[in-house]
């Protein structure tokens, strides 16, 4: 048991060292980096896709796409911006080494914003800082209002929580009050913004908060 813990601590502290290196590189080039985390199907690619639509005339954007397979890369490449695949080869989260390798494929002096799409998973990605400036956790209405309660570690690490798919509200099984209360208990400093990628509701606030 003690050996396991030591190994785990070493892996995590090595990850944190690399995360610091990433942050230094990003800051040297004044790049804002955002780490998007969510359940599978929560809407990471759709949110990033919508933000690129809204921002691409004003900001030079790149995406690091962490995935066990390569589908979302093709969706995002349509914007003709750099999209680097960080294929985790089955691993359930990105780590700093994967991000560092992906960064080496980008020309940092040509960028203002870096979106990092993590693997769809509400458990593991929270434990691996990637040198990014903000953690954006996306929850979605059909997943239910208990997600902050059930995955406290993920929501504790969030700077911003985007509640996606609000176009399906009202819903018999989702109470905005319960969701907000659960989040407030776990992480009172997180900013909650309800959004819909379908109607684009809420995206003005997201852009305002992150890029103004």
Question: How many Cβ atoms sit within 10 Å of the Cβ of residue 60?
Answer: 16
30 or 199: CB nearest a second copy:
199
Strands, sheet with 160-164, edge to edge from the N-terminal-most edge strand = 83-87, 61-67, 113-117, 32-38, 134-140, 160-164, 191-194
Residue placing its CB nearer to a second copy in the complex, 6 or 69? 69
Least distance to a second copy, CB of residue 183, Å? 14
- Look at residues 145, 149, 164 and name the one whose alpha carbon lies nearest to residue 36: 164
Q: Measured from the CB of residue 59, what is the shortest distance to a second copy in angstroms? A: 27
State which residue, 58 or 150, has the beta carbon closest to a second copy: 150
CB 163 within 8 A of CB 195: yes
| Enclosing H/E stretch for 181 | helix 176-186
Residue number, 33 or 119, with CB nearest to a second copy: 119
Phi first, then psi: what are they for 29, rounded to 5°? -110, 15
Conformation bin of residue 202: beta by default, left when phi > 0, alpha when psi is -120 to 50: left
The binding site for a second copy (CB under 8 A) comprises 39-42, 67-69, 71-72, 90-92, 119-124, 140, 142-144, 146-147, 149-153, 165, 168, 172, 198
Which of 67, 159 has the CB closer to a second copy?
67
Please give the Cα distance from 194 to 176 (Å, whole number): 10
When the beta carbons of 143 and 159 are compared against a second copy, the nearer one is 143
Shortest approach of a second copy to residue 118 CB, angstroms? Answer: 11
SS3 labels along 43-86: CHHHHHHHHHHHHCCCCCEEEEEEECCCHHHHHHHCCCCCEEEE
> Before 170, cis peptide (omega within 30)?
yes
């Amino acid at each position: 048991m003690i050996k396991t813990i030591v190994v785990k601590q070493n892996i995590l502290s090595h990850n944190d060292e690399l995360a610091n290196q990433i942050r230094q590189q990003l800051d040297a080039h004044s790049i804002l980096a955002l780490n998007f985390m969510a359940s599978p199907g929560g809407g990471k690619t759709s949110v990033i896709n919508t933000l690129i639509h809204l921002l691409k005339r004003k900001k030079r954007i790149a995406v690091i796409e962490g995935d066990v397979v390569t589908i979302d890369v093709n969706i995002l490449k349509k914007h003709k911006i750099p999209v680097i695949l960080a294929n985790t080869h089955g691993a359930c989260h990105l780590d700093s080494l994967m991000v560092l390798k992906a960064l080496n494929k980008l020309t940092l002096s040509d960028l203002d914003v870096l979106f990092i799409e993590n693997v769809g998973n509400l458990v593991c990605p929270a434990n691996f800082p990637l040198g990014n400036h903000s953690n954006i956790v996306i929850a979605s209405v059909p997943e239910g209002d208990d997600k902050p309660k059930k995955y406290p570690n993920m929501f504790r690490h969030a700077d911003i929580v985007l509640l996606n798919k609000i176009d399906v509200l009202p819903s018999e099984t989702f109470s905005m009050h319960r969701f907000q209360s659960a989040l407030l208990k776990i992480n009172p400093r997180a900013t909650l913004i309800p959004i819909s990628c379908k109607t684009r509701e809420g995206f003005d606030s997201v852009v305002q908060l992150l890029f103004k």
